[in-house]
Structure 1
Amino acid sequence: MAQLVRIYEDNPSPKELQRIAKAMKDGALVIYPTDTVYGLGCDINHKGALEKVAKIRGVKLEKANFSFICESLSDLSEYVSQIDTATFKILKRNLPGPYTFILPGNNNLPSVFKKKKTVGIRVPDNSIAIGLVQALGNPIISTSIKDEDEVIEYTTDPSLIVEKWDKLVDYVIDGGYGDNVASTVIDLTGDEPVLIREGKGSVEL
């Protein structure tokens, strides 16, 4: 059964975040708030947890397009190949914010993603999500729980989220009502930015 944990975005409890992060190190799956929709995530270094998320999503792990939730831009260099000045300026201007930027991956990606040439990076403007990454000490793998066919309340109201996901995850962090618009996805691996999905973030970069 999933534990519903109330954490306040304006003053997240370090103790609670540490407790959940410790469980994630052991393979726990967590639904948590971002600056867009609620996300389903786990530790990027726990293969068993990654496989569970892939199974829930109905995809093969090595082919899954999960995002990495990072603490800040300075974390990117660990997983992203060298990027040019123009790309860095776009990132600096828009992060933290409601974007997923697709960037060229490097050799430090977790072993299950070694065959992927790109990685989706998120730095959400949400102190709970960032605090969880800080407590964990490395990025969180993430996929949104937004489902186009579901009643909107099920993806925005934590008390209803925990009902639906009770047997699939270990924790649901209640950070208040979430949004029902996902992040804007921009591919920055080519010469020009390419819009993959228009979401909450402005496409005027």
Structure 2
Amino acid sequence: MKTEIENCLTVLKKGGLILYPTDTVWGIGCDATNAEAVEKIFQLKKRNDKKSLICLVSDFKMLNEYIEDVPEVAYDILKYASKPTTIIYDDPIRVAENLIAEDNSLAIRVPKDDFCKTLIKKLRKPLVSTSANVSGEKTPQSFKEIDPAILEGVDYVVNLHREKKSGKPSAIIKLKNDGSVKVIRK
């Protein structure tokens, strides 16, 4: 795992894209503070740049570094969630502008996966995590289902867990600063 982390860090620090296993599905990732790298993901996925992407952070401390004011209820939701849960927060800070949705929000997940957590901690920045498919296509359930165009379009493919079937995409909850909560995806 150590070599895979080092290989990813080399690519990410140069503004490159990685394809990696997450706690949910295979993801395309980049440094969430690098707007040019984020743009490469939109182009690779043929995705409208008005549609936002999810970021991963290593822990609550990092979450607080990139969201102006994390609502208290977020910690309870994440602490007691029985499955991977992404929360959309208001007022993100210090991330690439093209990651922030038109309503000034950003979707962030704290993964439970050791590889992801270690990679993010060593990168010391959030990592973009979007499913490894062309926009509008089905999310691949395993590594072998990933479109060759995606495999060829990234700068590095992590050589871990390729035989493992992917999990389901995370639940998504939108938390507004006014206290309102909306379930986007169960």
Percent of pairs with identical residues: 26
Question: Could you say what the CA RMSD is over the residues aligned between the two structures, in angstroms?
Answer: 2.6
- Structure 2 distance, partners of 1:142, 1:160, is 18
Please state how far the C-alpha of 1:164 moved relative to its aligned partner. 4.9
Report the CA distance shift for 1:166/1:145 in structure 2 as closer, same or farther (over 3 A): closer
Structure 1 residues 86 and 59: alpha-carbon distance in aligned structure 2, compared to 1, 3 A threshold: same
Amino acid at match of 1:103: Y
Residues 1:166 and 2:154 are matched in the alignment: no
Aligned length: 181
Give the match for residue 21 of structure 1.
9
Q: In structure 2, which of residues 75, 92, 106 is the aligned counterpart of residue 88 of structure 1?
A: 75
Within the alignment, does 1:52 sit opposite 2:34 as a pair? no
Distance 1:16-1:49 versus aligned 2 partners, 3 A rule: same
**CA deviation string 1:45-85 (max 9, x = no partner):** 22222111011233344x23111111011111111122333
Q: How does 1:1-205 map to 2 (within 5 A)?
A: 13-61=1-49, 63-94=50-81, 97-113=83-99, 117-145=104-132, 149-150=137-138, 155-161=140-146, 163-173=148-158, 174-176=160-162, 177-189=164-176, 190-198=178-186
Distance 2:114 2:142 in 1: 18
Give secondary structure in 2 for the equivalent of 1:166: helix
> Which letter maps to 2:142?
D
Q: Distance in 2 between matches of 1:180 and 1:94?
A: 15
* Distance in structure 1 (CA, Å) of the matches to 2:147 and 2:156: 8
Q: Which has the larger radius of gyration?
A: 1
1:103-129: CA deviations, max 9, x gaps? 112342334346651110111221111
Q: 1:65 to 1:130 in 2, by over 3 A?
A: same
Q: 3-state SS of the aligned residue for 1:186?
A: strand
Paired amino acid for 2:87: F
Runs of 4+ aligned residues of structure 1 deviating over 4 Å after TM superposition are: 113-116, 146-150
The TM-score normalised by the length of structure 1 is 0.76
Verify the 8 A CA contact 2:142 2:166 in the aligned structure 1. no
- CA distance in 2: counterparts of 1:73 and 1:94, whole angstroms: 14
- With normalisation by structure 2, the TM-score equals 0.82
C-alpha distance 162-64 of structure 1, shift in aligned 2 (>3 A) = closer
The unaligned stretches of length 5 or more in structure 2 are none
Uncovered stretches (5+) of structure 1, i.e. residues with no partner: 1-12, 199-205
* Structure 2 SS opposite 1:74: helix
Give 2:84's aligned amino acid.
P
Offset at residue 14 of structure 1 (A): 2.0
Instruction: Select between 29-38 and 184-193 the one with higher mean Cα deviation.
Output: 184-193
